[in-house]
């Protein structure tokens, strides 16, 4: 189970199949499940689960799935794989997780072990756990009118007919709410400029941009109200290509006077990022070889199965509750407050289970609109994007153009120059930070001592881009990996060895880390540990890389197969910005409430954090009641992004659990008159003294 949004449907489908066919083949299972879309899993585990369920129903023994744990040898070249993992004959059967741990890593009892997810049962049983599963009494249905034009000014808008429709409780346009500028990216305070959006504006900058909202008794009435809104557009010239957008005479997308912080609005350049280390020009001039390459990556939608969805209502204390599928509940509370004219203390944001996010729910897309409708009507309001709106009105990965130039001497990369055009679409949101991460990772993976990064982040009349797994790093590391492979080919080098000789090594400083932080100056960093050597050695073994590569060279014909090797680096958390907290409360029976602000969006972080607490307190995960992501009841957390939850929220949980552990040890030491409380062990729900005494 991952996010679990599709799981009840998978389960019902599997039940129907097994009722008819108790011993289905893999193909039959795949065919049966083909009508149930799952964004998270890739179906491998789902198919295996159906096979195991079928075997159990046939009264066959089904052994538990346990990870295979191996100790990592000191020399990565000596890593061996269990035989089944080689798959040289194209086997497809799922394999258990294979975990290599270095010998110095402490042994664990709960962390890293197979564990049923703390939310698994309610997800599998289809309990009402998602935002839209619970609807307050008297709820209205909100709907969003979006622009059919990629660039237009709203000359006139008239909602009288829509408002007159019986059953319609509110219709709001830019004329009805205060104009407060903001940036929709859910980022730490202060959000990077520019604040180039307003909840509803008198100009639209992409097809799917916001025009008006309505709330009515039924979804159909709300949609009908939208159709009755009369909008007189002055259609403006459109620019979709970021290189065209930067040219003189291109349409100016943000010509409004009240947006601050655009680098060059006349040329649609929202940010110019410049960063360098060493002397790139001199190093390139002195290099034995200089190579260049241009690489382009496309726009890509996150396509989480649960759309953006939000329900807002007033509670009995006249506080506004926002129940939302968001990755960043605390950022939403802070960001929405000025837009709706309420202080933070009168807003509560609750994140139930989320049906996937992949970065796209690190944006404030519906919360402000839904809140405006609740404020206007006094009634609970629900808003949800349609699948079409997910493509036209939410966010996507930045399409990038990357131009690399590298200097190579004696097989080493001595200089690299990267010019990056990041297409941010109609609004800036994550434009600055995504490109900074991209430039940093793209130029640090092979870490030349001379490096220069210049990026133009450019407005176009396309739906805005935002956060998506990897956050810019994927695009730039794709480019540098391809260029390094091309360089190796041209120089007659083994591409794997060439990359290995050049990738960032333990102990090396990351030359650009100080100048390229995330939206601001960063921190000097160096690589402190790395499993890359072993990882690549295992990968080469498992894929039979060299034999296949050689065999592939013998192919003729139009369609040929190839095999390549790429490496990437990724950060966990944002240095100097990310923070987390945890609360543990002990109950009468020795169980604990674990309260965490961290946001589990299907990643399993609630379970991982419970495992960390259980490991530290010597209790089973079952003894932890996990409650997360409610701004009234859980401690502050920046949210789920930057692959940080296990490390940052996890460390908050560990430190909290250590404090509780120390209190338990001290109290037990007092009762037993033991001088050194730290000698008492917490294990199996007990405190155990060195002399064998124990208490619960
Ligand atoms: S687990 Fe299937 S969509 Fe998330």
- CB within 8 A of 289, min separation 6: which ones? 407, 408, 409, 487, 491
**Together in a domain, 208 and 322:** yes
Could you tell me the distance, in angstroms and rounded to a whole number, from the CA of residue 353 to the centre of ligand 1?
12
Ligand 1 close to Cβ of residue 38 (< 6 A): yes
Question: Residue 333 is part of a domain; what is its CATH number?
Answer: 3.90.1170.50
Could you tell me the distance, in angstroms and rounded to a whole number, from the CA of residue 129 to the centre of ligand 1?
14
Q: What distance in Å separates the CA atoms of residue 455 and residue 433, rounded to the nearest whole number?
A: 11
Look at residue 190 and tell me if it is in a domain: yes
Q: Is the pLDDT of residue 90 over 80?
A: no
Ligand 1 close to Cβ of residue 41 (< 6 A): yes
Percent of the chain with pLDDT over 90: 84
- pLDDT the model gives residue 30: 96
- pLDDT the model gives residue 661: 98
Residues paired with residue 645 on neighbouring β-strands, in sequence order = none
Could you tell me the distance, in angstroms and rounded to a whole number, from the CA of residue 309 to the centre of ligand 1?
16
- pLDDT the model gives residue 80: 80
CB distance 312 to 367 below 8 Å: yes
**Together in a domain, 329 and 412:** no
CB distance 494 to 485 below 8 Å: no
Label residue 97 by pLDDT band (50, 70, 90): confident
- Residue 282: CA count within 13 A, CB half-sphere: 5
Domain end among 63, 83, 104: 63
Question: Residue 508 is part of a domain; what is its CATH number?
Answer: 3.30.365.10
Atom from ligand 1 closest to the CA of residue 3? 4
Instruction: Return the H-helix or E-strand segment holding 112.
Output: none
- pLDDT the model gives residue 189: 85
**Together in a domain, 271 and 371:** no
Return mean pLDDT, the chain: 94
Look at residue 573 and tell me if it is in a domain: no
- How many structural domains are present in the chain? 4
Q: Is the pLDDT of residue 69 over 90?
A: no
**Together in a domain, 178 and 215:** yes
Atom from ligand 1 closest to the CA of residue 40? 4
- pLDDT the model gives residue 225: 98
Look at residue 252 and tell me if it is in a domain: no
Q: What distance in Å separates the CA atoms of residue 55 and residue 62, rounded to the nearest whole number?
A: 7
Ligand 1 close to Cβ of residue 305 (< 6 A): yes
pLDDT tens string 122-158 = 999 999 999 999 999 999 999 999 999 999 999 999 9
Could you tell me the distance, in angstroms and rounded to a whole number, from the CA of residue 42 to the centre of ligand 1?
9
- pLDDT the model gives residue 105: 86
Label residue 674 by pLDDT band (50, 70, 90): very high
**Together in a domain, 327 and 380:** yes
Look at residue 248 and tell me if it is in a domain: no
Ligand 1 close to Cβ of residue 11 (< 6 A): no
Could you tell me the distance, in angstroms and rounded to a whole number, from the CA of residue 36 to the centre of ligand 1?
10
Ligand 1 close to Cβ of residue 4 (< 6 A): yes
pLDDT tens string 253-306 = 999 999 999 999 999 999 999 999 999 999 999 999 999 999 999 999 999 999
Could you tell me the distance, in angstroms and rounded to a whole number, from the CA of residue 333 to the centre of ligand 1?
27
Domain end among 336, 369, 392: 392
CA-nearest residue, atom 2 of ligand 1: 38
Could you tell me the distance, in angstroms and rounded to a whole number, from the CA of residue 85 to the centre of ligand 1?
26
- pLDDT the model gives residue 155: 98
Label residue 534 by pLDDT band (50, 70, 90): confident
- pLDDT the model gives residue 94: 82
**Together in a domain, 332 and 353:** yes
Atom from ligand 1 closest to the CA of residue 305? 3
Q: What distance in Å separates the CA atoms of residue 348 and residue 351, rounded to the nearest whole number?
A: 10
Q: Where would I find the H helices in 183-252? A: 219-227, 242-245
- pLDDT the model gives residue 88: 76
Question: Residue 30 is part of a domain; what is its CATH number?
Answer: 1.10.150.120
Look at residue 119 and tell me if it is in a domain: no
Look at residue 276 and tell me if it is in a domain: yes
Q: Is the pLDDT of residue 651 over 80?
A: yes
Could you tell me the distance, in angstroms and rounded to a whole number, from the CA of residue 35 to the centre of ligand 1?
13
Residues paired with residue 624 on neighbouring β-strands, in sequence order = 592
Ligand 1 close to Cβ of residue 356 (< 6 A): yes
**Together in a domain, 541 and 596:** no
**Together in a domain, 548 and 469:** yes
Label residue 413 by pLDDT band (50, 70, 90): very high
Could you tell me the distance, in angstroms and rounded to a whole number, from the CA of residue 117 to the centre of ligand 1?
14
- pLDDT the model gives residue 100: 85
Look at residue 566 and tell me if it is in a domain: no
Ligand 1 close to Cβ of residue 2 (< 6 A): yes
Ligand 1 close to Cβ of residue 49 (< 6 A): no
Average pLDDT value for residue range 688-695: 94
Q: Is the pLDDT of residue 364 over 80?
A: yes
Look at residue 105 and tell me if it is in a domain: no
Would the ipTM clear 0.95, i.e. be above it? yes
Q: Specify the range with the lowest mean pLDDT, choosing from 33-42, 152-161, 216-225.
A: 33-42
Q: What distance in Å separates the CA atoms of residue 573 and residue 127, rounded to the nearest whole number?
A: 32
**Together in a domain, 402 and 284:** yes
**Angle of helix 7-20 relative to helix 44-57, nearest 10 degrees?**
40
Atom from ligand 1 closest to the CA of residue 39? 3
**Together in a domain, 403 and 281:** yes
Q: Is the pLDDT of residue 466 over 90?
A: yes
Average pLDDT value for residue range 220-244: 98
Average pLDDT value for residue range 561-584: 89
Range of the domain at 220: 138-236+308-392
Domain end among 15, 43, 63: 63
**Together in a domain, 527 and 664:** no
**Together in a domain, 204 and 322:** yes
């Amino acid at each position: 189970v991952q996010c679990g949004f599709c799981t009840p449907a998978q389960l019902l489908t599997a039940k129907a199949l097994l009722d008819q066919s108790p011993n289905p083949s893999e193909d039959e299972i795949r065919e049966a499940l083909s009508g149930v879309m799952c964004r998270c899993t890739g179906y491998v585990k789902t198919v295996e689960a159906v096979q195991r369920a079928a075997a159990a129903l046939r009264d066959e023994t089904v052994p538990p799935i346990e990870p295979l744990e191996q100790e990592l040898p000191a020399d990565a070249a000596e890593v061996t794989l269990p035989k089944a993992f080689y798959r040289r004959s194209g086997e497809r059967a799922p394999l258990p997780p294979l975990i290599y741990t270095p010998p110095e890593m402490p042994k664990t009892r709960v962390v890293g072990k197979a564990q049923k997810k703390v939310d698994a049962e309610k997800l599998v049983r289809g309990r009402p756990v998602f935002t839209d599963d619970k609807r307050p009494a008297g709820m209205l249905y909100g709907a969003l009118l979006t622009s059919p034009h990629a660039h237009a000014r709203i000359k006139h808008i008239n909602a009288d007919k829509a408002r007159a429709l019986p059953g319609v409780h509110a219709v709001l346009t830019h004329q009805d709410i205060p104009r407060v500028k903001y940036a929709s990216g859910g980022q730490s305070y202060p959000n990077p400029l520019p604040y180039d959006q307003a909840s509803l504006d008198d100009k639209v900058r992409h097809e799917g941009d916001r025009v008006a909202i309505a709330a009515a008794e039924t979804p159909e009435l709300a949609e009908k109200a939208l159709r009755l809104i009369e909008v007189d557009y002055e259609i403006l010239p459109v620019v979709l290509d970021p290189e065209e957008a930067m040219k003189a005479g291109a349409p100016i997308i943000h010509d409004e006077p009240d947006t601050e912080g655009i680098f060059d609005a006349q040329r649609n350049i929202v940010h110019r990022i410049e960063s360098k280390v060493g002397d790139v020009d001199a190093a390139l001039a002195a290099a034995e070889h200089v190579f260049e390459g241009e690489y382009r990556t496309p726009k890509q939608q996150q396509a989480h199965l649960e759309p953006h969805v939000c329900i807002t209502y007033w509670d009995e204390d006249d506080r506004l509750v926002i129940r939302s599928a968001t990755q960043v509940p605390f950022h939403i509370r802070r960001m929405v407050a000025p837009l709706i004219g309420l202080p933070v203390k009168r807003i509560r944001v609750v994140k139930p289970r989320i049906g996937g996010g992949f970065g796209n729910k690190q944006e404030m897309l519906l919360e402000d609109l839904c809140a405006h409708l609740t404020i206007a009507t006094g009634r609970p309001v629900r808003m949800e994007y349609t699948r079409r709106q997910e493509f036209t009105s939410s966010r996507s990965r930045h399409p990038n153009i990357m131009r690399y130039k590298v200097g190579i001497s004696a097989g080493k990369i001595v200089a690299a120059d990267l010019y990056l055009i990041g297409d941010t679409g109609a609004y800036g949101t994550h434009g600055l930070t995504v490109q900074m991460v991209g430039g940093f990772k793209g130029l640090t993976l092979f870490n030349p001592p001379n490096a220069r990064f210049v990026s133009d982040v450019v407005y176009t009349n396309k739906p805005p881009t935002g956060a998506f797994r990897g956050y810019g790093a994927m695009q730039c590391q794709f480019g540098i990996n391809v260029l390094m492979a091309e360089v190796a080919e041209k120089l007659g080098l083994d591409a794997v060895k060439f990359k290995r000789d050049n990738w960032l090594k333990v102990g090396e400083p990351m030359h650009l880390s100080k100048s390229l932080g995330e939206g601001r100056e960063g921190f000097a960093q160096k690589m402190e540990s790395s499993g890359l050597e072993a990882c690549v050695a295992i990968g080469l073994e498992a894929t039979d890389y060299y034999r296949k590569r050689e065999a592939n060279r013998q192919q003729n014909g139009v369609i040929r197969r190839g095999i390549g090797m790429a490496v990437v680096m990724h950060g966990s958390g944002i240095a100097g910005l990310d923070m987390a907290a945890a609360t543990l409360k002990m109950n009468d029976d020795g169980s604990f409430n674990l309260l965490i602000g961290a946001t589990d969006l299907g990643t399993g972080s609630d379970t991982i954090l419970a495992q960390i607490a259980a490991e530290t307190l010597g209790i089973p995960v079952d003894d932890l009641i996990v409650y997360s992501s409610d701004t009234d009841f859980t401690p502050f957390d920046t949210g789920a992004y930057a692959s940080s939850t296990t490390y940052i929220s996890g460390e908050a949980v560990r430190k909290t659990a250590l404090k509780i552990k120390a209190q338990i040890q001290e109290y037990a030491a007092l009762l037993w008159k033991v001088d050194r409380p730290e000698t008492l062990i917490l294990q199996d729900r007990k405190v155990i003294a060195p002399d064998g005494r124990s208490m619960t």
